[in-house]
Amino acid sequence: MPAELSPIEKAKFVSAKRASDFVETGMRVGLGTGSTAAWMVRCLGERVKNDGLKIKGVPTSSRTAALAQSLGIEVVTLDEAKWLDLTIDGADEYDADLSLIKGGGGAHLQEKVVATASDRMIVIADAAKKVDTLGAFPLPLEVIPFGWQTTKTLVEETLVGMDVLGRTTALRMNGDAPFVTDEGNHILDLHLERIGNPRQLSLVMNQIPGVVENGLFIDICDVVVVGHGDGRVEVTDISSGTVEHDSVDLMEHENLFADLG
């Protein structure tokens, strides 16, 4: 592991490395999007190259697709795969029930479709992503461009009746232009500070005309793999109620992905 990597990046790496151990030859695997998921894709690419791992990867964004293909991972569409053995992805926040906020990278629509088409979803994260209550990270809503300002107004009016602390909404930008998702949509970021009832909020937001999907993942994640900068890993399985402690030898992977240093 390159010495100049920060403790946070090392934590992301070890969580991704440990989660990649769940993948076996012959599996159809959902490949997440984001900085932690990129480590996981590189770990799988290394196994494809060195160990002969054979999988079919279903990426959740064009960025992930390009990375996976560059590493020799066979990439197929969800329609081609039909159903997946597991999906491995990051999260912006998660709580004790393994409810998540995702979408910081703007790919939560594809991520949710892929994750719900999987037997299991494994989340990889650093310890800072765990929270007592969701909401400190802005909740993204993917909305169609047509009438987005009207949609924004409807969202703000609806939030008045929700169990949230803040109600500020903002159109996500990419420089001077609105951010555009892979589906050609925009994203509204909801700065809620605290979400008292994530399940209710998710259902209500998706009923607003113009909203395509929100970034709350409820009853989707099965396992969370949390990495630490010193190589320690915690694996929490919500279905079995178990927490396992493991470690990844950082020195063993000193030269792995050295180009990212």
Q: How far apart (Å, rounded) are the C-alpha atoms in residues 256 and 254?
A: 6
Q: Is 196 annotated as a binding residue?
A: no
Of 198, 115, 81, 210, the C-alpha closest to 154 is 210
The length of the chain is: 261
DSSP 92-159: SEE-TT--EE--TTS-HHHHHHHHHTEEEEEEEEEGGGB-SSS-SSPEEEEE-STTHHHHHHHHHHHH
Query: Is 184 one of the annotated binding-site residues?
Result: no
The residues that are catalytic are: 111
Q: 35: annotated binding-site residue? A: yes
CA-nearest of 87, 65, 9 to 253 is: 9
Is 104 annotated among the ligand-binding residues?
yes
Q: Is 247 annotated as a binding residue?
A: no
- The answer to whether the CB of 191 falls within 8 A of the CB of 135 is no
User: Does 20 count as an annotated binding residue?
Assistant: no
Is position 11 annotated in a ligand binding site? no
Q: Is 105 annotated as a binding residue?
A: yes
- Residue 219 annotated as binding? no
**Does 25 show up as a binding residue in the annotation?**
no
Task: Return the bridge partners of 186, or none.
Answer: 143
d(CA 59, CA 107): 10
Specify the amino acid at residue 205.
M
Rounded Cα distance, 112 and 141, in Å: 12
Is 90 marked as binding a ligand? yes
CB–CB of 107/164 below 8 Å? Answer: no
Q: Is 34 assigned to a binding site?
A: yes
- Residues flagged as binding site: 33-36, 89-92, 102-105, 129
User: Which residues line the annotated binding site for substrate?
Assistant: 33-36, 89-92, 102-105, 129
